[in-house]
Amino acid sequence: MKPPWPKSCKKKSENYWEAYLYMEIIIVQGMACLGKSTLCKQLEEDLPNCKHFSLDEYKENMWDKFGFDSVAQREYQSKLARELFYKDINEAVRKALYDYILIDYTFSEKYWDELLNNLTNWDERAKTIYLKPADLQEHRKIWEIRSRDFSVRHAGHGATHYHDGAGSDYVNKYDTKVFNVMPVTKQTLEISISFNPYARNVPYSSIIDFIKDSREGDFLPKDSPCVGRKNKLR
């Protein structure tokens, strides 16, 4: 996917290239119930011109709109949600709409190919904040509680049937193979999450520093008419 290249690199187009060049893409990845969405919401408030894309929200909106009566229907709707999710992110990147783009999802092993294909569109500039449990047994206890706490979790997750806010016949299980997630970008900040009480082993200020840390390399695509003008953009 290519950005809509300006016909020239005159003054009026340099603002676009500056925005495109310095845009930050941050993937917040990790197992369920580790606080990915909570962290993203906090970052969205604190980072200027920041947009949070949550795949769970796309799936939940799809389920609320159509409902489903089998795991196959749920998975098909989830597939459509992922397509829309990536479409919206790629458009935001192509048009340089935001200074910071947060991408929030588990990205388990079966979805790595999708993620890697889209990383190509993002010029390999993406960074990963990788959340992992400090203790799997403690995490399992939290997951088993939260997976059925529909005051904090959408009732469509793991359900066989879902309509009008109510799900039934749940089939989701705690399976470490399902949650086999590993960061896929070169720049990665790993954060261990503890429970009782909930705590990160990396302070929030260090997360901000990691996100804002200047990147090396020129992220202008090779066929951009503005290649070679990076130093003049700032």
In a domain, residue 203? The reply is yes
Residue 16's domain comprises: 12-139+188-216
Tokens of 118: 């889209």
CA distance 220 to 17: 8
- Predicted pLDDT at 39: 95
Residue 193 or residue 5, greater confidence? 193
- Predicted pLDDT at 96: 87
- Mean pLDDT over residues 182-205, rounded? 85
Task: Say whether pLDDT at 147 is over 90.
Answer: no
Write out pLDDT tens, residues 87-106: 999 999 988 899 999 999 88
Write out pLDDT tens, residues 16-61: 777 777 889 999 988 888 999 999 999 999 999 999 999 999 999 9
Residue 120 or residue 200, greater confidence? 200
In a domain, residue 228? The reply is no
Q: How far is CA 38 from CA 59, 147, 179, 185, in A?
A: 18, 16, 19, 22
Is residue 122 a contact partner of residue 98, using CB atoms and an 8 Å limit?
A: no
In a domain, residue 41? The reply is yes
Confidence band, pLDDT 50/70/90 cuts, at residue 233: very low
Q: Work out the end-to-end distance of the chain between its first and last CA atoms, rounded to an integer number of angstroms.
A: 25
The model carries a pTM of 0.80
Burial state string for 87-121 with b = 16 or more CB within 10 A and e = fewer than 16: eebeebbeebebebbbbbbbbbeeeeeebeebbee
Q: Which letter does DSSP use for residue 68 in this model?
A: B
In a domain, residue 196? The reply is yes
Which domain CATH number covers 62? 3.40.50.300
Task: Say whether pLDDT at 3 is over 90.
Answer: no
Residue 99 or residue 180, greater confidence? 99
In a domain, residue 69? The reply is yes
For residue 128, give the 3-state DSSP assignment: strand
CA distance 149 to 73: 23
- Predicted pLDDT at 126: 87
CA distance 216 to 234: 15
Residue 27, φ and ψ in degrees, nearest 5: -95, 125
Q: Give the number of domains in the chain.
A: 1
For residue 52, the Cα-to-chain-centroid distance in whole angstroms is: 8
- Predicted pLDDT at 151: 83
State percent of the chain over pLDDT 70.
82
In a domain, residue 131? The reply is yes
